[in-house]
Structure 1
Amino acid sequence: MGMNFLLVSTAGLPKILSDFIPDVGLGVLAGALINNNHNVKILDLNQPSLFSDVFTDEISSFLERFSHKVFVERKRPSVLDLLKLKTIDKKLEKSKNIFSEKLQGYLDSHIQKDKIDCIGFKLWAGDGFRWSLEAGRYLKKRYPQLKIIGGGPQVDIFGEEIYKVGEFFDALCYSEGEETIVHLADFVAGKKRLDEIPNIIFRKEDGSVIKTPRKFIEDLNQLPLAVYTPDVYLNINEKLKMLVLDESRGCPNSCYFCIHPVKSGKRRTKSPQRVVDEIKEYKKRYGVKLFKYAGSSTPGSFMMDVAQKIIDEKIDVRYTSFGHLGEFDIDFDILKKSGCESIFFGLESADEKILKEGMNKNIDTVKAKGILKKCKDAGIFTVVSLIYPAPFETEESRKKTMDFIKEVRPDSVLVQFAGIYPETLWFKFPERFNFTIEDKETYPFKIMTYQIKNLFPPTYWEPLPYRINGMPFKKFARETEKFQKDLQKEGIETSISDEAYLLYRFSGFSTLRDFLSANRYYFYSGNREKLEEEIRYINRKSGGI
């Protein structure tokens, strides 16, 4: 007799349209459990209805007026508007606390109804982390025999730090979980000890923390298909009909700011034919034709092989991907013909010193210009990411990057300030990269529990506890904002990701600007009805069922 699992994901209030894409990680975990005769339900709470659960009428009414003024009418808010916004923000925090209690009761009812033996939380940053912790603590007290597992981004980044706030977890799963979760089902059934299971962190009775060895899945072709049927993925009909293809894992690069070298290991890919077979099966089962590659460094040659098979088999799809500028000297016309709509490239800087000494990125900026131009000339929406200010940033390096962007003119440039995460070289040796961390010992905990104030721009947030090139948080956040505005003055978009562009193509909006303005308005005001309407329209236009 199999075990009964409940997999839960709540990332806080939705912020962008792609938050409504079904969670491939949970879907594949469900497939692994089902293939081993266990029962599983997925509760993905990242959906428009969450706004109705959190926003009161007063909050909705004010944010509707405020966001319409700012994003639709494009007027500056008055001082009175901002004062009122601060008041509303405080009321929103209280409302979030009330929702957290509702969530506990909601999960409790599922545990009783489905006789759940184990609940797994996918842990995200911010409100979602706090809500998951509060729910887990409540459920453990109410059901001491219930096994509670944590996984997801927070575990990969912070590991055993989570036990400082999540003492109730029976185990935390890091790295790849498809094999691990099947072993954990045996643990739940009393057939296996935790110290026999790879990729987990757990606490012994004496309080000591044990981390078992990491084990990667070498042959990704053996992974199960993700499951999105309504009997398993309970609210799938509220999600976008766009699926993520888990085509590759790992990365051959060792960027100093990135956790992927530690988290994901060497790069592995499924066979091109397996990916094509998955596309065809997902289209058959769910009527979906919008896809996104999941890999952090999908090889250009691999994409070419898949693209040619899509063309040869006349498969009607549209898709996006991440690309590394050192591996994409390819025929972009073939990608476009196969249905590739957008590619996201991690440039980060156009200054050689910053790229090599500050980031360990092996990018030839001359070749990068050619690749980006070829991608754009093929009609593929070309997105570039930048980290600004970066380690060793100067006026000269700023000008180099700005001039590079002005010459290449990507369709969108996403700019963020440098973030420092545990396990990366930026964290291990901050002084080497011109960072100053206030208190390295307490830093992981502070970042793990940090709460972003989504109603305000970064300059209004609680200061992050580090400096970049000697600049405190508010100063480097202002520098990032100024760089974005300088790009906008050049007519360059700074807020469209690759998947957002793909969704825009089926959204019914006549221009990207209208799409952006409307969605900023919908999300800021928590307009559930408009977001649900947009999801239905995209699903209908893209052929989803």
Structure 2
Amino acid sequence: MIIKLIQPKMIMRPMDTRLKTRMAPSLALLTIANMIHKEHTVIIENENIEDINFDEAVDIVGITVTVDVFPRAIEISKIYQSKGIPVVAGGIHITAFPEQAKTYFDIVAVGLAEKTWPDIIRDFQNGKLKKIYRCNGEIKGSEIVSPGYHLIDTKKYLYCNIISTSRGCPFRCDFCYNSCEAYKTLYINRDIEDVIKDIKTIGKRHVMFIDDNFIGNPKWTLEFVRAIRPMGLKWNAAVSANIVDMPDLLDEMAISGCESLFIGFESLNEKAIKNVHKSQNNIRKYETLVKEIHKRGIMINASFVFGLDDDDITTFKTTLDWIVKNKIETVTSHILTPYPGTKVYDEYAKNGRIIDFDFSKYNTANVVFKPKNMTPEELYNGYIWIYRQIYSTKNIFKRMPKAHKQRVPYFLFNFLYRKFGKATEKLCELITYERVGSIAEKLSYLV
């Protein structure tokens, strides 16, 4: 059987370049591919990199769907359906908001691929396909399938050294997909031995752990970082702000090779944080958190969400001043986006606050709802302004890390990825994305 797996073309934000689309391959598609490639022919196509070949012979198509590519996924589905080829839709948006998806796709896969795709393949072969497949029951860490790293065309990506150690998150912030019904009880760590096996398969000393929350189970994380300490890795991960209360774990992470941490600060307004039930964040401890991380020579990638109900036009300047004062190395900014299926979406839809239902605009760079204390134009303009200010030459130098070992990766990211990303993009076209990523790793981490 020939199975095609597709990643639709993403909608780039104003500050993005093609570096964003070439950052890393889809672990979701690689996981499905690894489950089935021994018995079937698997074709993976990333539309961010290459055009979809609609003419080659395939038996069934699978599409991974985030909310912003939902309209494009529908277009792709229609083309294959017109050829009599069934289309499976899965991914985070489909799992969070499955009812609408049933209208456009032949099969809807809700939840983890490990618990849906084996049934889909079996039923397809037996001519008994159902409309919807759900991940019923709990999954064990040992049941999580490793991605098919050997199937990656590494020349197409900056980094292929990406690994997940868990599924889900223990917290249920209102604006996050983890507040959806399907994700409410999902948090599971993989077996440590399996993760280490993936690290060895990749064969790189620099690793990016791309979990929703690397410290969702601090006891597991402590055991894991102690296990990888002898491997001499340089690694990055995403953690929640309550790591401020885990100094011993931070010590062990630093010793085992942690170089930077992505943290969802989201807002400097205590009331705004409470209103979206982000209980793991204590704003009064933010500066202590930054100091504790920097003290250990670790960089911070801080995430902020603008447009929460307690934000007004002064929020942008206040946030910028805090970022510069605390020398936050990199910042990821978002306009609050009511993802379908989340508590925020349900609340805003009920109260008539959603003003645009074009899901292609749901990429955290557009205002699709009525803000409470500013106009949509003020929110959008503030979002663009703070990005430009953070990555101005003046503020890049003002935010320069005190730790000398972090200055090379800091300047590489701030100048070559953010400020002059289009020039770096052209360099990648000349010598391949893989080579540019490899050079950046060697310069940054001496690996």
Length-normalised TM-score, structure 1: 0.68
Percent of paired sites with the same residue: 16
Deviation at 1:34, TM superposition (A): 3.6
RMSD of equivalent CA atoms: 3.6
Is residue 66–residue 92 contact of structure 2 (8 Å, CA) maintained in 1?
yes
> For 1:307 and 1:17, how far apart are their aligned partners in 2?
30
Kindly report which structure 2 residues correspond to 1:15-54, keeping only aligned pairs within 5 A, or say none: 15-20=17-22, 21-34=24-37, 37-47=39-49, 50=50
Letter in structure 2 aligned against 1:480: Y
Aligned residue for 1:268? 188
> For 2:9 and 2:210, how far apart are their aligned partners in 1?
18
Letter in structure 1 aligned against 2:54: L
Which ranges in structure 2 are unaligned for 5 or more consecutive residues? 400-404, 443-447
Q: Secondary structure at the match of 1:429?
A: helix
Letter in structure 1 aligned against 2:291: K
Is residue 409–residue 492 contact of structure 1 (8 Å, CA) maintained in 2?
no
> For 2:220 and 2:394, how far apart are their aligned partners in 1?
33
Q: 471, 492, 507: which one pairs with 2:374?
A: 471
> For 1:26 and 1:393, how far apart are their aligned partners in 2?
38
Structure 1, 250-259 or 367-376: larger mean CA deviation: 367-376
Aligned residue for 1:140? 81
Would the alpha carbon gap of residues 150 and 503 (structure 1) be closer, same or farther in structure 2, given more than 3 Å must change?
farther
Question: Do residues 437 (structure 1) and 437 (structure 2) align?
Answer: no
Letter in structure 1 aligned against 2:202: Y
Would the alpha carbon gap of residues 31 and 188 (structure 1) be closer, same or farther in structure 2, given more than 3 Å must change?
same
Deviation at 1:358, TM superposition (A): 3.9
Is residue 141–residue 190 contact of structure 2 (8 Å, CA) maintained in 1?
yes
Letter in structure 1 aligned against 2:358: I
Kindly report which structure 2 residues correspond to 1:344-383, keeping only aligned pairs within 5 A, or say none: 344-383=262-301
Deviation at 1:271, TM superposition (A): 3.1
Deviations 1:425-449 (A, max 9, x none): 22222399xx85156xxx5xx2324
Kindly report which structure 2 residues correspond to 1:151-300, keeping only aligned pairs within 5 A, or say none: 151-163=90-102, 166=104, 169-190=105-126, 192-194=128-130, 198-199=133-134, 214-215=135-136, 217-230=138-151, 233=152, 235-262=153-180, 263-264=182-183, 265-283=185-203, 288-299=204-215, 300=218
Question: Do residues 518 (structure 1) and 420 (structure 2) align?
Answer: yes
Deviations 1:340-379 (A, max 9, x none): 2211100111222111124443322233322221112212
Deviations 1:290-316 (A, max 9, x none): 3222221221544332222122xx314
> For 1:187 and 1:409, how far apart are their aligned partners in 2?
55
Aligned residue for 2:402? none
> For 1:479 and 1:529, how far apart are their aligned partners in 2?
31
Deviation at 1:219, TM superposition (A): 0.8
Is residue 24–residue 243 contact of structure 1 (8 Å, CA) maintained in 2?
no
> For 1:170 and 1:511, how far apart are their aligned partners in 2?
42
Q: 105, 117, 120: which one pairs with 2:62?
A: 120
The count of aligned residue pairs is 425
> For 1:516 and 1:540, how far apart are their aligned partners in 2?
17
> For 1:192 and 1:317, how far apart are their aligned partners in 2?
47
Structure 1, 531-540 or 216-225: larger mean CA deviation: 531-540
Deviations 1:201-251 (A, max 9, x none): xxxxxxxxxxxxx42552122222211324xx4x44423343322211122
Would the alpha carbon gap of residues 515 and 4 (structure 1) be closer, same or farther in structure 2, given more than 3 Å must change?
closer
Q: Secondary structure at the match of 2:297?
A: coil
Question: Do residues 447 (structure 1) and 358 (structure 2) align?
Answer: yes
Is residue 506–residue 538 contact of structure 1 (8 Å, CA) maintained in 2?
no
> For 1:148 and 1:503, how far apart are their aligned partners in 2?
46
Q: Secondary structure at the match of 2:227?
A: helix
Is residue 155–residue 432 contact of structure 2 (8 Å, CA) maintained in 1?
no
Letter in structure 1 aligned against 2:62: G
Is residue 110–residue 116 contact of structure 2 (8 Å, CA) maintained in 1?
no
Q: Secondary structure at the match of 1:156?
A: helix
Which ranges in structure 1 are unaligned for 5 or more consecutive residues? 51-101, 200-213, 497-501
Would the alpha carbon gap of residues 429 and 276 (structure 1) be closer, same or farther in structure 2, given more than 3 Å must change?
same
Letter in structure 1 aligned against 2:176: C
Would the alpha carbon gap of residues 395 and 448 (structure 1) be closer, same or farther in structure 2, given more than 3 Å must change?
closer
Would the alpha carbon gap of residues 308 and 451 (structure 1) be closer, same or farther in structure 2, given more than 3 Å must change?
closer
> For 2:170 and 2:11, how far apart are their aligned partners in 1?
34
Aligned residue for 1:325? 241
Would the alpha carbon gap of residues 396 and 506 (structure 1) be closer, same or farther in structure 2, given more than 3 Å must change?
closer
Length-normalised TM-score, structure 2: 0.81
Letter in structure 2 aligned against 1:172: V
Q: 513, 522, 533: which one pairs with 2:432?
A: 533
Letter in structure 2 aligned against 1:194: K
> For 2:92 and 2:382, how far apart are their aligned partners in 1?
28
Is residue 251–residue 261 contact of structure 1 (8 Å, CA) maintained in 2?
no
Q: Secondary structure at the match of 2:116?
A: helix
Deviation at 1:422, TM superposition (A): 2.0
